[in-house]
Structure 1
Amino acid sequence: MEDKGEFSFSTCWNIKRHTTGSGMLQEIRELGFRQVELNYNVTEEMLTTIEPMIERGEIGVSSVHNTFPHVPDPDYGTDSVLLGFADREKRKRAVDLLVRSAEYARRYGGEAVVVHPGEVPFPDEFGKELEQIYSGQGKDSEAYRRKWAELLERREAQSAGYVQTIIESLDEVCNRAVSKGLNVRFGIETRSRPQQIPTLAEAKTIINALQGAPVGIWYDTGHAIMMDRLGLYDSVGEMAGLMDDIVGVHIHETIGLSDHWCPYVNSGNPNFYDAYLPMIERAQVKVYELKAACRPEEIHESHRLLTAKLAAGREQAGC
């Protein structure tokens, strides 16, 4: 199988098919990947068979995804206020868990931790209703415009306070990580729901406030495409101002508002994803984050197309 080189592959693709960590990573190795991103559903029990593989050099770890290993409490899950908690005890635990993720990343030779910083709390049904209107009536419908305006008004009224708390939390995390000599970077990820932090402007605010700290943006391309389609930000135009701050990327394409598909292959669009190639080229850590429905042959073809386009871009640029 062709070696996928510098590209890493997230365990989100096959974690639900496996009960042992070693079986999960062996399946990824068979795709030609020599590095993995250990995602937030990897349990401590799975690590008992993963760690010997790392120690034997059978697999490398590019990154881990906070909170790592898996924490079953939804307050510290992927869709949570997390680093923005006003409650001091909850925020302290969120900070402690992120430092723990960084310790695991360092132990396994990883370069980065993927971080979901937080969100402006919204009822779950609000976002679902917005997506239903988008899919059923379209972005230009009066119903969508009304619902979107309501979301933005609620989001903008509260987001600055949460962003400030997230900055304070990340400052504490970075100070502790540096004092421990962890030497990993924290990538704040573009998210998949419009109430979640950060927008690209919020990401810039956070990064600028933490100048000199090991914090940058983790550009999840599929999520950014979704937020662009909903109207939250310009996923390509606004990214230009963050190119120097990219820590890593999650590589996947979005069909409508369904994400984690193989770029180019599942969408059938030969050119749309090209706009995100400069970000992938620039990223220190490049990770495919694909859903279980993506078949091995689709993954191989997507990688072939993507790497050919990256090579052509480098050649054109005279690199």
Structure 2
Amino acid sequence: MIAISTIWNSLKHEDGAQLLAELNNLGFNAVQLDCKITEKLLTQMESQIRIGMKVVSVHNFCPVPPGVLQENADADLFLLSSPYKDKREEAVKHTLRTIEVAADLEVPVVVLHLGYVDVKDDQTFSPNFSFKKKSSIIRNTMERKSSIIKKRKGSFDESKRLFDLYEWGEREFEAFGKLVTELRGKRERKQQRYQDAVLFSLDKLNRRAMDLNILLGLENRPRYHQIPDFYELELFFAEFEGGNLRYWHDTGHAAIQEKVGILKQEKWLKTYSEQLIGIELHDVKELDEYLAPGMGELDFKEILRYVPGKAVKVLEIKEAENEEEIIEGRRVVEEILGKSDAAT
């Protein structure tokens, strides 16, 4: 089954039933609810969800939290990585609400953005703020490896330097490699307290997810300072072994990281294929994401060979893409998967 994210049309409709009807008219009978679905839209959707339209995943934070305008709603609006307890607990509170919504609708997966490392943070380590279990063992392993860095937000200007060099055609030049190394080092010096914050958040979320039989998909991100990076996934899975944490892969985010010299898409997929619970499929042209498959540069045949048949598959396409491109994007994916997999 190939689903589509409501990110494509959630801002177009004031009626949730009409929103789902538009997607159904495009040939989709399954959706991912995105972070711009309001409480009102959700309520309007429920009857249609219960009689036919399947929800395969819910993206945190859903519904839009109280006091937040729909157009301002964002999956990074509240930070599970915040080292400040009040801010972190606010993010946890809204995530718990998303988990409960998923349980009410009998949706198996909630997709999470985990936040980021603030590389401009003056503190490199807070001795009174540490989540110590298996994580300390994994950290030692991480430090012995050549580190791979990435992520978004907070330090957006640092990522912009990297993106600018790429767009100026500097990818193969020495300055580009030096900048990647510099940014990796900055992240490594600041990352521990943010990793600890995420572990505190996940501890609460994992327990509730286990109670409600919901899987939590930890999504890869496009920028060097965002969480999780490649090794942080190992850290989180080890800490909560036997729990409900899984990997959620975003093709566009991984492509951006590969383009700017951080990590190849294939490595994410090969390493974490056993934990892979779902994938968001969108194409990329240069650094422009959220295009329909087939409209950009990605080799979806190569990507999808690592994806288990049981994994959730979601087209995540921006609002600007037209209906014909969406239909063609689905056809591209279905052709690769084969009709039998696409229809299940």
Q: Which interval holds the TM-score relative to the shorter structure? A: 0.7 to 0.9
Aligned-partner SS, 1:15: coil
Cα contact 2:117–2:190 (8 A) shared by 1:
yes
Cα contact 2:32–2:314 (8 A) shared by 1:
yes
Cα distance in 2 between the residues matched to 1:192 and 1:25: 29
Cα contact 2:34–2:59 (8 A) shared by 1:
yes
Mark the CA change 1:243 to 1:282 in structure 2 (over 3 Å): closer, same or farther: farther
Aligned-partner SS, 2:22: helix
Percent identity at matched positions? 30
Amino acid across the alignment from 2:177: R
Q: Which residue is 1:84 aligned to? A: 81
Amino acid across the alignment from 1:158: K
1:130-145, aligned counterparts within 5 Å?
Answer: 130-145=162-177
5+ long unaligned stretches in structure 2: 119-153
Pairs aligned (count): 303
5+ long unaligned stretches in structure 1: 1-5, 315-319
Among 146, 149, 160, the alignment partner of 2:181 is: 149
In the TM superposition, residue 238 of structure 1 has moved relative to its aligned partner by 4.0
1:163-242, aligned counterparts within 5 Å?
Answer: 163-179=195-211, 182-242=212-272
Q: Deviations over 1:99-123 (max 9, x none)?
A: 1111101111211000001101243
Aligned-partner SS, 1:237: helix
Cα distance in 1 between the residues matched to 2:78 and 2:53: 33
Among 104, 109, 127, the alignment partner of 1:107 is: 104
Give the root-mean-square deviation of aligned CA atoms. 2.4
Cα distance in 2 between the residues matched to 1:52 and 1:81: 30
TM-score (norm 2): 0.81
Mark the CA change 1:96 to 1:257 in structure 2 (over 3 Å): closer, same or farther: same
Amino acid across the alignment from 1:232: I
Structure scoring higher RCO (CA < 8 A, sep ≥ 6) equals 2
Name the stretch that deviates more: 161-170 or 9-18.
161-170
Among 37, 59, 65, the alignment partner of 2:59 is: 65
Cα contact 2:110–2:214 (8 A) shared by 1:
yes
Matched, 1:309 2:309: no
Cα distance in 1 between the residues matched to 2:184 and 2:61: 28
Name the stretch that deviates more: 294-303 or 241-250.
294-303
Cα contact 1:75–1:81 (8 A) shared by 2:
no
Q: Deviations over 1:45-102 (max 9, x none)?
A: 21231122223x1312111100111132899942367111111121112112111111
Matched, 1:34 2:29: yes
Cα contact 1:76–1:82 (8 A) shared by 2:
no
Mark the CA change 1:24 to 1:75 in structure 2 (over 3 Å): closer, same or farther: closer
Amino acid across the alignment from 2:313: K
Q: Which residue is 1:50 aligned to? A: 45
